A = this chain, B = another copy of it.
Amino acid sequence: MSGPLSVELLQKMDAYWRASNYLSVGQIYLQGNPLLDSPLALEDIKPRLLGHWGTTPGLNFLYVHLNRLIKDNDLDMIYIIGPGHGGPGLVAQTYLEGSYTERYPAIEQNRNGMRRLFRQFSWPFGIPSHVSPETPGSIHEGGELGYSLVHAYGAAFDNPNLIVSCIIGDGEAETGALAASWHSNKFLNPAHDGAVLPILHLNGFKIANPTVLARIGHQELAALMRGYGYEPYFVEGDDPAAVHQCLAKTLDTVLAQIRQIQNTARSLPTTQNPARPRWPMVVFRTPKGWTGPKVVDGKPVEGTWRAHQVPIADFKSPEHLRQLEEWMKSYRPHELFDKQGKFLDELAALAPTGRRRMGSNPHANGGELLQPLAMPDFHEYAVTVPKPGLVEAEATRVLGKFLRDVMRLNLDRKNFRLFGPDETASNRLDAVYEVCGKAWMADVEEVDVNLSVNGRVMEVLSEHLCQGWLEGYLLTGRHGLFSCYEAFIHIIDSMLNQHAKWLKVSTKIPWRKPIASLNYLLTSHVWRQDHNGFSHQDPGFIDHVANKKSDIVRIYLPPDANCLLSVTHHCLRSRNYINVIVAGKQPQWQWLDIHSAIHHCTIGAGIWQWASNDGGDPDVVMACAGDIPTLETLAAVTLLREYVPDIRIRVVNVVDLMVLQPPSEHPHGLEDREFNKLFTEDKPVIFAFHGYPAMIHKLSYRRRNHDNIHVRGYKEEGTTTTPFDMVVMNNLDRYQLALDAIGRIPRFADLVEKETARYWATMQRHKLYISEHGQDMPEVQDWRWNA
């Protein structure tokens, strides 16, 4: 078949492909005899066979062709692998191009190195079976399917010269995250962003089933891709020579198209906005387990789901041994590697060199490229707080001005973006629109505001896309912040898991350089979703994150605007963490001036002396974490001083939740001595917490005073009601907290009955009032700190 490849080049590329397939099969099967110098024997086979063959030859085929494209055109390209279970392929390719040995010198380019390469795969203390942080050139594990395309777009934003080749598994394409990701092209500007080249790897099968996209016919699939805004190019076949020519030709075409799109956009006068182009994408339909055994034990394997993992197993059968040997020899290894096991120079020369190799591209080790953010002096955004509780502010609106200037100061570097599911303004961060708009490449109408082809605020009604874009952006060495309604951040729980795992492993790999932290601002939180109701009320993301490895996660609950500023400033400069910040957007009393806030946030928890009167010997510790619990706690303090004026109260506020754990469990954990200084060793602690109460017990159960810690928090009660009724429904209200305190102080035992009666009377009044007026009692609405 004719095409752009000369006979010689085609043969060489095919040989390169054979070499990578050979190395892939070797990794799955062999622990010795890597070059098949002697007849394959049972002892050459690994005792446990773990790995995935099916997707691998296709990934290898594409890699070889992308190498040609890179080399011919001096491209800056990375390769994102949706079907990350094709780990052997990526390891093989980066080994052949030399990247692997540079990162792991023991995996030499010779027989011994090849033996180690094979043996380490899916082997204890070796490397995982999937593409992973250990794999050079990867920013993407793919162990959990669905996130390749959204990562690809995240990587491409603000990288005008980068092309991100993204291999999407056809099984992966059935996931929600992937299905939504196609629309990312409405947010990518060819003038200043790079290109994403989606390659849908249509090999037809998953673990045990055909894939949907392989079985809807050519017309429907083409319509789907056009509907997503792409121009599909189909490369289909099972004859390698024909597919080589077809893919080479297609890649030349799509590269030309990408170039044309970019040239058009980049040559426009700056006053003119580029139109959204129809980006090319490739449908690559080849057999699953291509070149592998056609039939095993009488059942078809190549081109079926049976090729998904290890196509031949159970080597007690001599026939299987023979079949494996035949399969491996079909790649003609002795035409590919020299006597010493080194890949032939004339083939190795097909790969790009240096940082153009996809296994050595610095974008795939983002820390190498990371530039710190230019930061404004956050003191300048501080709310003036002459004394606690004197002024009101909306914490996130204050933060918005700071973020606006972070954006402004880094506009030149183009390395900071804000992400949010249609909620940036709702979350009161809209000051940022003073310096840049929201990214938008789709159609525009007259009524639209703040949309811009140059926007750096990424808004789409998909938490998956926000998370995935941000991950891709961070992993390629940039910075960002994701603001989200607290309840709906659970949509990306599983993505968080995978990012946390990536970070945990990456920090142990010397050549992986630190990247900017993944920062969440959770606002519109559980206690202020009284208007949207129960579906919008869930503080459980804290619990989810707290299960992750402690050297990765940080959780902050700033009680006011100045604390929020201090915490966010810290988070934006941190590396390799997942930082969760929970803060409300509604007008609230402010407690700390900026200096006190910085001091408080630096330690993470402290006694608020101005609210305490314990003289070092409290009757009760009123602890709080979170803005609303802090408000209710301080209100409870005023009630207690009124009810039982001689009470000695200590108020402790916790900003950094992890201080509650012992230092053995979390690096932020307070030493027991410090913990006891705050919470005492034997006094009752009434702890008002933003989230589910059990979290506080989980963190503090090893502390000496734990049995005295009594926690109030969200107990899964809520509806559309008044703000104060939300805390009442969950027994986190000031009256309950005050009653809790009195009930736990022995010298007030006689008062409990009277105070309980007062409590019920108040509750009665509350219910009658809100039922009649639809809003909170004046004594609640007008409350202010005056102790």
A interface residue numbers (CB < 8 A to B): 31, 46-48, 50, 84-85, 119, 122-130, 132, 141-146, 171-172, 174-180, 182-183, 186, 206-212, 215-217, 220-229, 300, 303-304, 422-426, 438, 440, 442-445, 447-448, 451, 459-465, 487-488, 490-491, 493-494, 497-498, 501, 504-505, 531-536, 538, 540, 543-544, 547-549, 692, 694, 697-698, 701, 706, 716, 719-722, 725, 767, 770-771, 773-775
Q: Is the CB of A706 within 8 A of B701?
A: yes
23 A-B pairs in the complex with CB atoms less than 8 angstroms apart: A47-B774, A122-B720, A124-B770, A125-B770, A142-B535, A143-B533, A176-B178, A176-B491, A179-B182, A186-B215, A208-B422, A209-B422, A210-B444, A212-B442, A225-B227, A226-B227, A490-B493, A491-B493, A498-B535, A544-B544, A547-B716, A697-B697, A698-B698
With A224-B227, A422-B209, A461-B145 known as contacts, the answer to whether A50 contacts B720 (CB < 8 A) is yes
Quick one: closest B residue to A299, CB to CB? B447
Q: Are B549 and A716 in contact (CB under 8 A)?
A: yes
Given contacts A488-B494, A501-B535, 19 further A-B contacts (CB under 8 A): A48-B775, A123-B720, A124-B770, A124-B771, A129-B531, A144-B536, A171-B422, A175-B180, A176-B177, A176-B178, A176-B462, A176-B491, A179-B182, A215-B445, A216-B442, A224-B224, A225-B227, A501-B534, A543-B544
Provide the residues of chain B in CB contact with A694, threshold 8 Å: 547, 698
Contact A425 B208 (CB under 8 A): yes
Q: Are A127 and B462 in contact (CB under 8 A)?
A: no
In the complex the two chains form, what is the Cα distance from A671 to B300 in whole Å? 58
Dominant SS at the A interface? Answer: loop
Question: Contacts of A145 on B, CB cut-off 8 Å?
Answer: 461
Given contacts A174-B180, A174-B461, A229-B220, contact A124 B531 (CB under 8 A): no
Complex Cα gap A423–B538 (Å): 30
User: CB distance B174 to A176 under 8 Å?
Assistant: no
Q: Which B residues lie within 8 Å of A488 (CB)?
A: 144, 494
Q: Name the residue on B nearest A172 (C-beta).
A: B461
CB–CB B692/A547 < 8 A: yes
Q: Once the chains bind, are A143 and B461 in contact (CB under 8 Å)?
A: no
A706-B701, A719-B128 known; A175 vs B217 contact (CB < 8 Å): no
Asked whether A175 lies within 8 Å of B464 as measured between CB atoms, the reply is yes
Contact B462 A174 (CB under 8 A): yes
Please state if B443 and A217 are interface contacts (CB–CB under 8 Å).
yes
B547 touches A540 (CB 8 A): yes
Please, which residues of chain B bring their CB within 8 A of the CB of A129? 531-533, 720
Please indicate the chain B residues that have their CB under 8 angstroms from the CB of A442 in the complex.
210, 212, 215-216
Distance in angstroms from A665 CB to nearest chain B CB is 9
